[in-house]
Amino acid sequence: MNDPNSCVDNATVCSGASCVVPDSNFNNTLSVVLSAVLTILLALVMFSMGCNVEIKKFLGHIKRPWGICVGFLCQFGIMPLAGFILSVAFDILPIQAVVVLIMGCCPGGTSSNILAYWVDGDMDLSVSMTTCSTLLALGMMPLCLLIYTKMWVDSGSIVIPYDNIGTSLVALVVPVSIGMFVNHKWPQKAKIILKIGSIAGAILIVLIAVVGGILYQSAWIIAPKLWIIGTIFPVAGYSMGFVLARIAGLPWHRCRTVAFETGMQNTQLCSTIVQLSFTPEELNVVFTFPLIYSIFQIAFAAIFVGFYVAYKKCHGKNKAEIPESKENETEPESSFYKINGGFKPDEK
């Protein structure tokens, strides 16, 4: 008689009732096919998001990067620190703490651009923040991991897949750039593309969650503490990103943008780093965490979007509830602006 708590015969790593089952041929084939489909769909969605980005405003954020600097502080300041605090507070295993910190050190995910559109955020700021965080991750990820993981493990043992980061950067910049060009040349057609792309983007986010559940269904048994951290972590990112952006003086629509850019992490990159850095035995206790974070960051983002849409309908708000400052406005004559002209904060 078979023990229901025992592992299946083809499991490679077993620890009680927790097993890691090797990928079947079906899973390998499904992974390749779906990865190709999702990559193409993501490129099309980012192309449509680019159709909502104005070149002049995008360059304005680069020239006066106050919003980008606030986002940078949230992305590589708040998130790694929050991961460290959660790891210490829940007293998880060192290997688990390292994975939580890897997640906190990852750059923002492209899904944040889609969500920023749905909450009437600043798309120019969203795209510029995602691009800059992905580019800066080449240096900031190793630095943050060196600072926060040395109490648990040698950071040199963590493999940073720079090629994957580079691929993510190209997959973001190229389609968005084409979308920006289309918006510049054919603004009316760009609006139609944007509406289609926003719907496709919502479908893409759901597909990513479903695909992760299908491909890694054999690894869902994991420590309860990691489930709790995976639930709290994205909410902390969204909340603290919004609060810090508001403290920095950004208008409401940009606060929403920074919030999503902070909490929405590149979980695919985290999964890649985890697989490259740990042995099969170690993966047995940590591999599912990026998937857990991915599910809850999407779930809570959907809740926030729902609340915003309901609020907007109830109060008759529109996209310009707090108008942006014009680019050609005269800058206030204060010592702050004279000294920090290149980092002028957005006006309320």
Which of the residues in the chain have pLDDT under 50?
1, 4, 8, 10-12, 16-18, 21, 23, 318-345, 347-348
Give me the long-range contacts of 273-280 (CB less than 8 A, separation at least 24).
273/102, 273/106, 273/158, 273/159, 273/160, 273/161, 274/99, 274/102, 276/159, 276/161, 277/157, 277/158, 277/159, 278/95, 280/12, 280/13, 280/20
Q: Give residue 109's pLDDT.
A: 74
Residue among 110, 133, 117 at smallest CA distance from 52: 117
Q: Which tokens is 118 given? A: 């749905």
Residue type for position 81 = L
Q: Is residue 322 part of a domain?
A: no
Q: Give residue 319's pLDDT.
A: 46
Q: Is residue 234 part of a domain?
A: yes
- Which CATH number belongs to the domain containing residue 193 in this structure? 1.20.1530.20
- Cα 333 to Cα 32, 271, 338, 339: the distances in Å are 57, 49, 7, 11
Q: Give residue 100's pLDDT.
A: 92
Q: Is residue 173 part of a domain?
A: yes
Please give the Cα distance from 280 to 161 (Å, whole number): 18
Residue among 338, 250, 288 at smallest CA distance from 71: 250
Please give the Cα distance from 102 to 10 (Å, whole number): 30
Q: Give residue 271's pLDDT.
A: 79
Q: Give residue 205's pLDDT.
A: 66
Q: Is residue 327 part of a domain?
A: no
Q: Which domain holds residue 246?
A: 28-315
Q: Is residue 20 part of a domain?
A: no
Q: Is residue 332 part of a domain?
A: no
Give the total number of structural domains in the chain: 1
CA contacts within 13 A on the Cβ side of 114: 26
Q: Is residue 177 part of a domain?
A: yes
Q: Is residue 165 part of a domain?
A: yes
